[in-house]
Structure 1
């Protein structure tokens, strides 16, 4: 399983620099390759629980059996705060599974990450991932992360049957969507179901709405300035994006 041509130095190399954000399958494949150093324990931090965590444990069970190593998963809903505290205390996990690239970029800028090409042969990564995915996981030309999975965050789901039964037309613009929502409320129905509960992390799905609205209305360049803390949260574009989301989320009947 010498996919990357590296010895079992993955965990050791990661510990030297602090933190590596990587795809579990790639990291484990590298760790499984032949070499002289033995991996004892690989620590992974993330927010997974329930069926997601069960699936993760099934994946790593084969690696543990083959290598004799052990994977310790550290679950937390306060991932950002806990991870930063661990990095500051020089006691980070070997691998962190993050929900978005923003934290990864901040950690890379602070010098807390090790580029993947220092622990893996990234030739296989470049073959398996499109340039857009490589760019997403890179900071100033250095690759620090690969995506474990991706999700569509900008789709609005609806019931074709409900629309047909009530004679509603599918809106093509935001204004048409809001107008239809008002009609549905007037008809005594609930136009929206927005799931924001997520335990200690409740509310995070709302950030997807605000981000999508911001990029649509103000463009990616201004969004990058916001992500990089170059415009304040009180900026008119930020404020208008939150207000626009509120026009749906706070609508009666939602």
Structure 2
């Protein structure tokens, strides 16, 4: 079974048992369920399913409430659980399909489209997407020649988080290149602090390390070929990236408790090792969500005692921007197609993104969103980095792959990169094993 998406995005808040059902709009105010009079969708009902629970669900509820205020539609949000495919399949079979589903992986959007579950998005949604998003986001929502998935929420997975006091003690500054990052790490180690906390117990973090290095070294075009397996994992560019990653993994002085300790460290613990009450390391690489954990779990002040620098360029390459995200899709079996498509138009607007940006815990790929909508400078900087990258942004490669290769504990990339962390001495052999696993998972080996 594929581990939960909440593990992949670092969400560690408790999940409310059972399905979450949130009534939004006129009913939330205790008024007439037909919706505000005179609105274009007054009296119409709409159901949206998403993986989000807790604070994330409450913040998305605010977005849907804004849609209700604008159109009069009565919207209900239901929790899909982390296995969105199983949820949607069961709802379609039971003839209770929601109109709109938020889908967390490119591969799942493609799966739904190939099953015939989705409705292509309207011309109005396409036009709004072309106006407000870099082309790459539409590409990731397109299957064949039809546009199905609108990316409403994104993650910037090219951020290295650090404690300024550890940097100050060692007399180092945030590095501008990968080579300088390792040099700074060694200086930090000499000052008495372990440089990196690495969550090797969670194999997905290791795929993220590889993807950032590979995107910078090999470039977006090769990244795309490797992602869809039109390039074999035995290619020289892969061996080169593994060799670069192996330099970090092989140096026991760079990792807190060495590779053996990293293999016993899960993602939440890696953040605690840097930002917890008894810090052990100076830096932890992962996405923008690290900042939320440092702030919410360990009372760190973003921009003061919890800072980040962009994952630096490798070997003279551009600084990479690897992303993840949630795409809104419209189900063919949903009863109210008109209201569903109108919601998609709204979600493509900067006004919708502004609602959640103001609430926090959110980054939008919408380039028309005024960055002042974000509540703090750190989030603003992370969002700007994502938007400024334009069409050079690339979606998490493992999330584009079949789950057997890119998202299964104890198998595929996760296991093979854990094995490489344990012994990084033979990048060519690891590349060959990765190719064998990829060929099997993609069905061409």
With structure 2 as the length reference, what TM-score do the two structures score? 0.39
Within-5 A mapping of 1:20-39:
34=40, 39=44
Change (3 A) 1:147 1:68: closer
Which residues of structure 1 form unaligned runs of 5+? 1-31
Which residue of structure 1 lines up, in the alignment, with residue 255 of structure 2?
252
| 1: CA distance, partners of 2:185 / 2:213 | 17
Which residue of structure 1 lines up, in the alignment, with residue 55 of structure 2?
51
Measure how far apart 1:95 and its partner are. Answer: 2.5
Which residue of structure 1 lines up, in the alignment, with residue 142 of structure 2?
138
Residue by residue over 1:112-158, the C-alpha shift from the partner in whole angstroms, topping out at 9 and shown as x without a partner, is 4321027x654344333344433343234322122212332223234
Change (3 A) 1:211 1:100: farther
Within-5 A mapping of 1:90-169:
93-117=98-122, 122-160=126-164, 162-169=166-173
Worse-matched range after superposition: 148-157 or 129-138 = 129-138
- Secondary structure, in 3 states, of the residue corresponding to 2:119? coil
Change (3 A) 1:142 1:209: same
Residue by residue over 1:17-70, the C-alpha shift from the partner in whole angstroms, topping out at 9 and shown as x without a partner, is xxxxxxxxxxxxxxx97479x644414132x12211111223334556864634
Residue by residue over 1:234-253, the C-alpha shift from the partner in whole angstroms, topping out at 9 and shown as x without a partner, is 76655664675565478431
| 2: CA distance, partners of 1:96 / 1:245 | 37
8 Å CA contact 2:195–2:255 kept in 1: the answer is: no
Which residue of structure 2 lines up, in the alignment, with residue 187 of structure 1?
191
- Secondary structure, in 3 states, of the residue corresponding to 1:71? strand
| 2: CA distance, partners of 1:215 / 1:184 | 27
| 2: CA distance, partners of 1:85 / 1:246 | 41
| 2: CA distance, partners of 1:64 / 1:169 | 48
Change (3 A) 1:87 1:219: farther
Which residue of structure 2 lines up, in the alignment, with residue 7 of structure 1?
none
- Secondary structure, in 3 states, of the residue corresponding to 1:148? strand
8 Å CA contact 2:167–2:188 kept in 1: the answer is: no
Which residue of structure 1 lines up, in the alignment, with residue 178 of structure 2?
174
Residue by residue over 1:161-216, the C-alpha shift from the partner in whole angstroms, topping out at 9 and shown as x without a partner, is 5434422254343233223323323432021245789xxxx654544332222212
Higher relative contact order (CA 8 A, sep 6+): 2
| 2: CA distance, partners of 1:145 / 1:33 | 26
- Secondary structure, in 3 states, of the residue corresponding to 1:175? helix
Which residues of structure 2 form unaligned runs of 5+? 1-37, 257-280, 282-445
With structure 1 as the length reference, what TM-score do the two structures score? 0.62
Which residue of structure 2 lines up, in the alignment, with residue 223 of structure 1?
223
| 1: CA distance, partners of 2:94 / 2:88 | 10
| 1: CA distance, partners of 2:190 / 2:128 | 56
- Secondary structure, in 3 states, of the residue corresponding to 1:151? strand
Change (3 A) 1:102 1:212: farther
| 1: CA distance, partners of 2:182 / 2:229 | 31
Change (3 A) 1:99 1:70: closer
8 Å CA contact 1:64–1:71 kept in 2: the answer is: no
Change (3 A) 1:104 1:68: closer
- Secondary structure, in 3 states, of the residue corresponding to 2:155? coil
| 1: CA distance, partners of 2:200 / 2:191 | 25
